[in-house]
Structure 1
Amino acid sequence: MKNYFQFSERGTSFKQESAAGITTFLSMAYILVVNPVILSQTGMDKGALFTATALSAIIGTLLIGLMANYPIGIAPSMGINAFFTFTVCIGMNIPWETALTGVFIAGVLFMILSLLKIREKIINIIPQDLKHAIGGGIGFFVAFMGLKNAGIVTSNEATYVSIGNLSTAPTLLAITGFIITIILFNRGIKGGIFYGMVLSTIIGMVFGVIKPPQAIIGKIPSLEPTFGVVFNHLDDIFSPKVLAVIFTFLFVAFFDTAGALIAIASQAGLMKNNQIPNAGKALLADSMSTIVGSVLGTSTTASFVESTAGIAVGGRTGFTSIVISACFTVSLFFSPVLSIITPEITAPALIIVGALMATEIGKINWSNLTVAIPSFIIVIMMPLSFSVATGIALGFILYPISMIAMKKAREVHPIMYVLFVIFIGYFVYVI
């Protein structure tokens, strides 16, 4: 086992990987509650959605751990499930069965692109400065999510965002958890982020902020309402409206995953010579999990940026993913216990992880405005648009323009020009 996952080469151990896996799982566990709530608004069965969410996370995470040896958790994407529900099903009035079939087709296309190594090629030709910008931008995005979940940052009609009500019990719990985690982390305690979440949960229950679970073990809901539905609706995809939806699923998931993979590989110290080892296998595992997830009955899966919480604890190999997958398996039977893992509990981990990832922007060549400005747009637009894919798209549109303006058009890889055209089309015809 140690040899297969290269423990010695990556300077890790069973204890370190296990702590990392549990930490990532706790950071991701909210998806088991939130995904069914969002997707059930389309008319899908909430119980089946819970089981589909858990199983897709188990299978996808297991695949990327065993195939690519990466410490990454995979589960239904939060951004795409909202797009699936509110834009596709409710906004465009497309039945959930047809939309789910669109996810299946997008997953198959993903797998073809992965097998042809097109996805890997695109990721590897991205300029180094833009990769640092993607990693740093995701750091700001993750921290912003944490601040939002904690109630520290809230919406405001006049200023768009503003400071929240810091005197509410959930926000005070998040702040307390943040302080505890900072102390543990700065003291060099391994697993400080994980222990911080555990202590926050205990404090929350003691002071009545978090209700103790009413039961320990729950019955696993049936998959029957959603399982295999996609195979009965393949004829529904041949319309311009549905084809546009498939393209959007393809686009957003592609660059969400690419961004997460770049950020995770960089933070874990796995990136070498601007290349991500085993990127092809990681992307193939990701595409396979989307296919499996759609058959089970959930929207597009993706590599979770919350995986960086486990990396901060010391996760360096695919064994971390095995532990994450095992935790999701156990969660199928202990769903009532998961209800106590609130956004306020995981918020401190996201803020701290965001700070760690944001250090990537220090590696950008800020003295060279040709790459500095596109990099800045990537960094700033991820949190402001609340989308990793949108931030990447805007930066990739600006980069060729900047290079052409500086008479360096020949230094731009042809694929970057292709992406430039695709992104322009995306904003014109889809957004």
Structure 2
Amino acid sequence: MNALAAFFRFDRYETTFRRETVAGITTFLTMAYIIIVNPAILEAAGIPRGPSTTSTIIAAVFGTVVMAFYANRPFAIAPYMSENAFIAFTVVKVLGYSWQTALGAVFVAGVLFTVLTVFKVRSWLADSIPMSLKCAFAVGIGLFLTFIGLNETGIVTLGVAGAPVKMGNITQPSVLLAFFGYLLTVVLMIRKVPGPIVIGIIATTVLSIACGVTPMPHSFVSMPPDPTPIVGQLAIGNALDIRFFPVVLTIFIMAFLDTVGTLIGLSMRADLLNDEGNLPEIEKPMLADALATTVAPLIGTTTTGAYIESAAGIEEGGRTGFTALVVALLFLLALFFAPLFTIVPPHAYGIALIVIGSFMIEPIKRIDFEDFTEVVPAFLTIVLMIFTYNIGVGMSTGLLTYPLLKTIAGRGRQVLPGMWVLALLALSLFIFFPKM
């Protein structure tokens, strides 16, 4: 145990095995839905659900283990939600390409990620982002998680004509259970009880089962479906066709922006940024992300990356790769205990996302509200992340408007070269995929 503590540098991050373990459990519980949701989405593209479930778990285990041992960061990796929908509904359903070609594009993007990371191009670009936008990424992600949590719990639902969203039916048992779980979690935090988020999730789940709102699974143990039918089926040659270039570029930019924003936002909340506002050795978690994205299509699933739900574990004190290792081990167990791990209902894990948002708005006070060239890009980043329900859209808008406003104000010299590159990437995303 001492060797593990030394390897993960517990002393440096002032953490313990108990704290890291609780953090890992919390992160897993908030993102375990991906085991069901990712295969369900990819089934629309023609990828069989059973094999896709196994591939989803394997991709999460691989990426998160690399994050744990190589990067030593508390970030979990799994297939991205927005990118899987883009592949299934836009690339396959709308554009008419096969899922094999789509996975080929993901592989090409993964290779590009890896090369750019090894040569530290990605870290150079990340370090060029100004502090105001980094703060906006953290705040936007926090409020984005809150909005997801409100929707998952049923507290907020889709509206009718004239109102995009509205208050949910608060008399529904699931909504009442969500209120209970949220209040319980907050009270535990106020009383400084260790592991309040995971206690809130488990208590809400148990009560939901007891009240008959959540059914018990037919079994707790199951053999993982055979992934062979989708392993190695990607069509790289088709993806390299010049006509497919806009799709490859879109996948690349969407994943790049999501990863940068997530890593910076989570690191700010975990107090892992240095005095210059940069994440030391950011190329390590980026390489973990890149390698996972390269491996994912080989085993039959889509773009992977650092999950914003890692914020749940960070709030529980997770600061090292041991948190990620716990997440990876739980995903591995999920291969055989998927019915048990996926029993956690949305109104139970949704409360964790709402709680997290209240903590992640703190960096907003670091934005200079007297300087409109700083506050406007930050504001647009935050609100468009939430109201377009798309992190990439918010980030792209901020990356575009920041250098533009600085130049208009006659302060273009304040914009680092890397920011201009990011602005061009963001612009190309709007050009090639205007309806993202």
Residue 254 of structure 1 pairs with residue 266 of structure 2: no
TM-fit CA distance, 1:248: 0.8
User: 1:212: which partner in 2?
Assistant: 216
Does structure 1 conserve the Cα–Cα contact (< 8 Å) formed by 2:39 and 2:49? Answer: yes
Deviations 1:334-363, CA, capped at 9 Å, x for gaps: 011123112111111001111111111111
TM-fit CA distance, 1:296: 0.7
Question: Any residues of structure 2 matched to 1:4-403 within 5 Å, and which?
Answer: 4-156=7-159, 157-230=161-234, 233-273=235-275, 274-403=277-406
TM-fit CA distance, 1:171: 1.7
Deviations 1:123-166, CA, capped at 9 Å, x for gaps: 11111111111111111111111011111111123111111111
Once residues 207 and 280 of structure 1 are traced to their aligned partners in structure 2, the CA distance between those partners, rounded to angstroms, is 47
TM-fit CA distance, 1:260: 0.7
Once residues 135 and 168 of structure 1 are traced to their aligned partners in structure 2, the CA distance between those partners, rounded to angstroms, is 32
Does structure 2 conserve the Cα–Cα contact (< 8 Å) formed by 1:133 and 1:375? Answer: yes
Change (3 A) 1:246 1:368: same
Once residues 186 and 388 of structure 1 are traced to their aligned partners in structure 2, the CA distance between those partners, rounded to angstroms, is 31
Tell me which amino acid in the other structure corresponds to 1:243.
F
Deviations 1:67-103, CA, capped at 9 Å, x for gaps: 1110011000011111111111111111111101111
Does structure 2 conserve the Cα–Cα contact (< 8 Å) formed by 1:40 and 1:46? Answer: yes
Does structure 2 conserve the Cα–Cα contact (< 8 Å) formed by 1:21 and 1:320? Answer: yes
Secondary structure at 1:213's aligned position in 2?
A: coil
Deviations 1:12-54, CA, capped at 9 Å, x for gaps: 0000000000000001100001111110111111111110000
Tell me which amino acid in the other structure corresponds to 2:408.
A
Does structure 1 conserve the Cα–Cα contact (< 8 Å) formed by 2:107 and 2:236? Answer: no
Which shows bigger deviation, 92-101 or 156-165? 156-165
TM-fit CA distance, 1:418: 2.4
Once residues 128 and 205 of structure 2 are traced to their aligned partners in structure 1, the CA distance between those partners, rounded to angstroms, is 43
Once residues 127 and 49 of structure 2 are traced to their aligned partners in structure 1, the CA distance between those partners, rounded to angstroms, is 39
Once residues 391 and 328 of structure 1 are traced to their aligned partners in structure 2, the CA distance between those partners, rounded to angstroms, is 30
Does structure 1 conserve the Cα–Cα contact (< 8 Å) formed by 2:208 and 2:214? Answer: yes
When normalised by structure 1's length, the TM-score is: 0.98
Deviations 1:261-312, CA, capped at 9 Å, x for gaps: 0011111111002120120011001000011111111010010000000010
Does structure 2 conserve the Cα–Cα contact (< 8 Å) formed by 1:130 and 1:375? Answer: yes
TM-fit CA distance, 1:213: 1.7
Tell me which amino acid in the other structure corresponds to 2:186.
I
Secondary structure at 2:301's aligned position in 1?
A: coil
Tell me which amino acid in the other structure corresponds to 1:350.
L
Once residues 429 and 290 of structure 1 are traced to their aligned partners in structure 2, the CA distance between those partners, rounded to angstroms, is 21
TM-fit CA distance, 1:421: 2.5
Does structure 2 conserve the Cα–Cα contact (< 8 Å) formed by 1:213 and 1:339? Answer: no
Secondary structure at 1:42's aligned position in 2?
A: coil
Residue 417 of structure 1 pairs with residue 420 of structure 2: yes
* Root-mean-square deviation over aligned CA pairs: 1.1
Once residues 16 and 409 of structure 1 are traced to their aligned partners in structure 2, the CA distance between those partners, rounded to angstroms, is 45
Once residues 242 and 27 of structure 2 are traced to their aligned partners in structure 1, the CA distance between those partners, rounded to angstroms, is 39
Tell me which amino acid in the other structure corresponds to 1:276.
L
Once residues 364 and 402 of structure 1 are traced to their aligned partners in structure 2, the CA distance between those partners, rounded to angstroms, is 16
TM-fit CA distance, 1:241: 4.1
Secondary structure at 1:75's aligned position in 2?
A: strand
Once residues 389 and 289 of structure 1 are traced to their aligned partners in structure 2, the CA distance between those partners, rounded to angstroms, is 20
Tell me which amino acid in the other structure corresponds to 1:390.
V
Once residues 102 and 343 of structure 1 are traced to their aligned partners in structure 2, the CA distance between those partners, rounded to angstroms, is 32
Once residues 15 and 234 of structure 1 are traced to their aligned partners in structure 2, the CA distance between those partners, rounded to angstroms, is 44
Once residues 242 and 338 of structure 1 are traced to their aligned partners in structure 2, the CA distance between those partners, rounded to angstroms, is 38
Once residues 216 and 88 of structure 1 are traced to their aligned partners in structure 2, the CA distance between those partners, rounded to angstroms, is 36
Deviations 1:309-345, CA, capped at 9 Å, x for gaps: 0010110100001100000011110011123112111
Once residues 394 and 242 of structure 2 are traced to their aligned partners in structure 1, the CA distance between those partners, rounded to angstroms, is 26
Once residues 168 and 146 of structure 1 are traced to their aligned partners in structure 2, the CA distance between those partners, rounded to angstroms, is 16
Identity percentage of aligned residues: 36
Gaps of at least 5 residues in structure 2 are: none
Tell me which amino acid in the other structure corresponds to 1:205.
I
Once residues 243 and 30 of structure 2 are traced to their aligned partners in structure 1, the CA distance between those partners, rounded to angstroms, is 35
Tell me which amino acid in the other structure corresponds to 1:308.
A
TM-fit CA distance, 1:240: 4.1
